[in-house]
Amino acid sequence: MIGDIHQRITRSSPWDLSHALSDPNWVNAMHEELENFERNHVWDLVEPPPNCHPIGTKWDFKNKRGWDGCEEQSEIGSPGFLSKKGIDYEETFAPVARLEAIRILLAFAASKGFKPQQMDVKSPLSRTEEEVYVRQPPGFESARFLDRVYKLRKGLYGPKQAPRAWYARLKSFCSSPDKTLFLLSRGGDTLIVQIYVDDIIFGGLSHALIKQGHEGTFVHQAKYTRDILKKFEMGDSKPMTTPMSTNTALDADEDGEAVDQKEFRGMIGSLLYLMATRPDIQFAVRLVRATRLLLGLLTVKRYLKFTPELGLWYSSGSSLSLRGFSDADHAGCRIDRKSTSGTCQLLGTSLVSWSSRKQASVSLSTTEAEYIAAASCCSQVLWMKAILSDFGLRFGKIPLLVDSTSAISIAKNPVLHSRTKHIDVTFHFLRDHYEKGDIDLVHVASENQLADIFTKPLEFGAFVRLRGELGVLQVEGVDNALIKGEIESQWTGLIALLV
């Protein structure tokens, strides 16, 4: 019955509310929310002041999956679209965690041997600077004071200033370059907390603050993969061994049938969500999104049918050495002849960041394309270096592996400056940081260039080899009960917010 109600209740209409009020499980959840508000002194029931236009309130009903299964949860919120800038709020900005920061924390936790925990704050309550009045919750109006309204002491879900108000309560504890990372040191112990509004990941470096975890973490979206294949009716399609064939025409089909925009965007949105744990489809999805090749989209999904349970493995045996890989496919786009940059960054053997993107301008040579890609990789590596310094990690020269000796020579040899005058000055900071000793440009053989998977379609053998070296593995290949059964439910909600 609960699942049936969950499917029907999508907004706070009287019809929906009547069904919720008829079920004791939902009623208990609603009472729990109201008691929490009373305990935390969230609001006061007052006479409405002159010219008061209170914001409405609504119930949000949801089933949330936790460590112990499914639980009913109801929340009081307000329709944020009724808020008016300059009247009901001034500021809305609140920083959110980058997905790379989450992966860094997972890799760090695995290497240090502690188990990261995830917590969802039921009521992220914090004091608001504005004076806000809301109507009484539907179904729980006071019989004696029907005309009264609640004056908020603290924020609710819904108003546009709510995330900013919640973050203001936390920011005094943050001193990291990443404003969503919080660290608490006590003696020789450290507590690490990463936040995304009301979703929190935390872990500690010793038994004193956090219970020690397992020997690794596997993050996957196998259930979601199967769901999207079922949604888009891919059950009878033939599986593919790679997300894109090497002989696929990588240009727009001007004479082809027009793509259904709604269906296409729905498919692309599903795949963008999935890319949070599937770097192996990054290049193909980016290319399909740019060229709107429906055939390419179907190929990606046929590949997902062949590999529904792949995910990222973070091993406790991994070191915490930082390195970056950079590659480029010169003039790979047949439409505008722009090159594709592919980069990835690893902590030991743990892949924490990757990118596949078309360069902003046309490169005149392979060397120039490789040089620009290396500059992009350098920028990401320097950001990671700053973040990891808060984890107590210090690095000397960070190796940046490039398979173009000429691009390395441009960065190292000042004599070659005259040959790169046409390259945007933005990319020359690569040379600057090499001279400062922040990075070390190292040549790597093309067959060992991990970033190659982000620049072009590859034949099956090379694709599978690089995919494995990046730590993209099957669920069955990971020998851990927690990993097989619980990790997906733990992280699915967070991934949905971050993507």
* Residue 74 neighbours by CB under 8 Å, 6+ apart: 20, 26, 29, 30, 32, 33, 59, 60, 61, 62
More confidently predicted of 484 and 349: 349
**Helices then strands (H, E): number in the chain?**
15, 17
Q: What is the mean pLDDT of residues 390-411?
A: 92
Q: Where are the domains of the chain?
A: 2-213, 217-311+474-498, 318-453
- Confidence band, pLDDT 50/70/90 cuts, at residue 7: very low
Higher pLDDT, 126 or 112: 112
pLDDT at residue 326 greater than cutoff 90? yes
Return the higher-pLDDT residue of 288 and 55: 288
Predicted confidence at residue 441, as pLDDT, reads: 95
455 band by pLDDT with thresholds 50, 70 and 90 = very high
Given the DSSP bridges, would you call strands 439-443 and 398-402 parallel, antiparallel or unpaired? parallel
What average pLDDT does this structure show over 11-33? 67
Least confident stretch, 5-19, 100-114, 185-199, 294-308? 5-19
Q: Which position has the higher pLDDT, 348 or 38?
A: 348
The pLDDT mean for the chain works out to 77
CA-nearest of 298, 139, 115, 338 to 217 is 115
Query: Per the structure block, which two tokens stand in for 328?
Result: 């480029």
Has residue 69 got a pLDDT over 70? no
pLDDT at 275 over 70: yes
d(CA 78, CA 94): 19
Average pLDDT over residues 454-481: 83
pLDDT at residue 480, rounded to an integer? 44
Q: Do 287 and 296 form a contact (C-beta atoms < 8 A)? A: yes
C-alpha pair distances (Å), 105 with each of 180, 272, 337, 445: 12, 22, 38, 30
pLDDT exceeds cutoff 70 at 144: yes
Q: What is the pLDDT of residues 354-372, one digit of tens each?
A: 999 999 889 889 999 999 9
Enter the pTM of the model: 0.74
Which CATH superfamily hosts domain 318-453?
Answer: Ribonuclease H-like superfamily/Ribonuclease H (3.30.420.10)
At residue 12 the predicted structure's pLDDT band, cuts being 50, 70 and 90, is very low
Residue 407 in this model has a pLDDT that exceeds 70: yes
pLDDT band at 283 (very low <50, low <70, confident <90, very high): very high
